[in-house]
Amino acid sequence: MYPEKFMKKFAAILALLTLSSLQLFAWGPKGHRIVGAIAQAHLTDPARQQVLLLLGNTNLADVANWADDIKGQRRETYGWHFVDIPKDSSGFSQARDCYQPNDTRPYTKDDHHNCVVDRIDMFRQTLANKNAPQSDRVEALKFLVHFIGDVHQPFHAIGEARGGNDIHVTEFGSTQCGDWPCNLHFVWDIDLIEHTGRSEADYVAYLEQLIASKNLQAKAGGTPQDWANESFHDAQQAFLENGASVDEAYYKANIGMLDERLALAGLRLAALLNETLNEPLKSSK
C-alpha cells in the first residue's frame, strides 16, 4: 500500500492535470459564501420563502460552492464558470465568447452556451418555470448562486493567460501560494480576500456598511452581459505581466474594487431571485 501522504499528493497532482486547460477556480469558498450571505440578507419575504422551500434547512451561503464541488462529476459544467473575453477587445460577444469548441473536450462542440453569461440566463429561466421538476429548479438555484459570484470575479471575464492562471507572480514576497506557484487568478480568488485579515462574518458586516455608504443598492440591476463587461474592464485595469509582484501597493490599489465586486454580486443575486421568485411557492406534498 502507498503511504497516505503520497496518495493525497498524487490526487492533488492528478486534479491539477485534469483541470490544467481550464480556469481552475472562481472566488474561493470564502468569497462565494460571502456573496451568498449578502444575497440571503437582501431577499424579499416571498423570495426567502421560496428559497427555504427549495433548499430546505439551509441558505444561499451554504450552497454557494456546490457548483465547484460537482465539477469532477459534471465535466460539461467547467466552461460555465467563466467567459473568455479577449483582452484587446471592447467587451463581451456571445457568438465569439460562448462557443469555443475544443477537440480535447468533445462536449464543447455542441454547447453554444459554454460561458457564464449564457448559463445565468438559462438557469434563471429554469428557476422561474414553476412547471419544471423540483430537482431542476433546485439545481438551477444552486448554479445561479455560484455563477453570479463567478461573473463578478474580474479574472473570470478575461481570456488572457487563462484568466491570469498563467501569470506567475510574487505575492507579498513569496512565489509559493500553499503547494503551488502563485498566479494572478488565485490572488484574486483567495489571497487578496485573506490578506484583509477579516473573518467571513466580519467581511459580510464590512460589505454591508460599504453597501450603505456607497449606495450600491442603486447598482443592483443590470444583465449578466453587463456584469461580465464590468468584470472584464476591471481585469484589464488590474492585469499584471508574468513575473510581476503583488505587494501592498497593488493590494491597496485594488482591494476596493474587489470589495465592491463581492458586494454587487450579493446584491445582484438577491435582486435576480427577488424578481424571479416573486410569488410565495406552494409546497407540493
**CA neighbor of 222 nearest in space, from 175, 267, 285, 164:** 267
Q: Is the pLDDT of residue 254 over 50?
A: yes
State pTM to two decimals.
Answer: 0.90
pLDDT at 18 over 60: no
Average pLDDT for 80-92: 98
Distances from the Cα of 190 to the Cαs of 162, 177, 216, 285, in angstroms? Answer: 17, 10, 23, 42
Residue 248 pLDDT: 98
Among 3-7, 51-55, 197-201, the minimum mean pLDDT is found in 3-7
Does residue 119 register a pLDDT over 50? yes
**In a 3-state reduction of DSSP, which class is residue 61?**
coil
pLDDT of 285 strictly over 60: no
**Which amino acid would we find at residue 269?**
L
pLDDT per position as a tens digit, 189-243: 999 999 999 999 999 999 999 999 999 999 999 999 999 999 999 999 999 999 9
Rounded CA separation 202/34 (Å): 10
Q: Residue 176 forms beta bridges with which residues?
A: 181
Domains and CATH numbers, the chain: 23-276 (1.10.575.10)
What mean pLDDT comes out for the span 134-145? 98
Q: Which amino acid is residue 132, in one-letter code?
A: A
pLDDT score of 280:
61
Question: pLDDT digit string (tens) for 20-39?
Answer: 333 455 799 999 999 999 99
Question: 116, exposed or middle or buried, with CB in 10 Å at 0-12, 13-18, 19+?
Answer: buried
How confident is residue 178, by pLDDT bands cut at 50, 70 and 90? confident
Average pLDDT in the chain: 91
Please determine, for residue 184, whether its predicted confidence score (pLDDT) is greater than 60.
yes
Q: Return d(Cα 28, Cα 188) in angstroms, integer.
A: 9
Residue 49 has pLDDT above 90, yes or no: yes
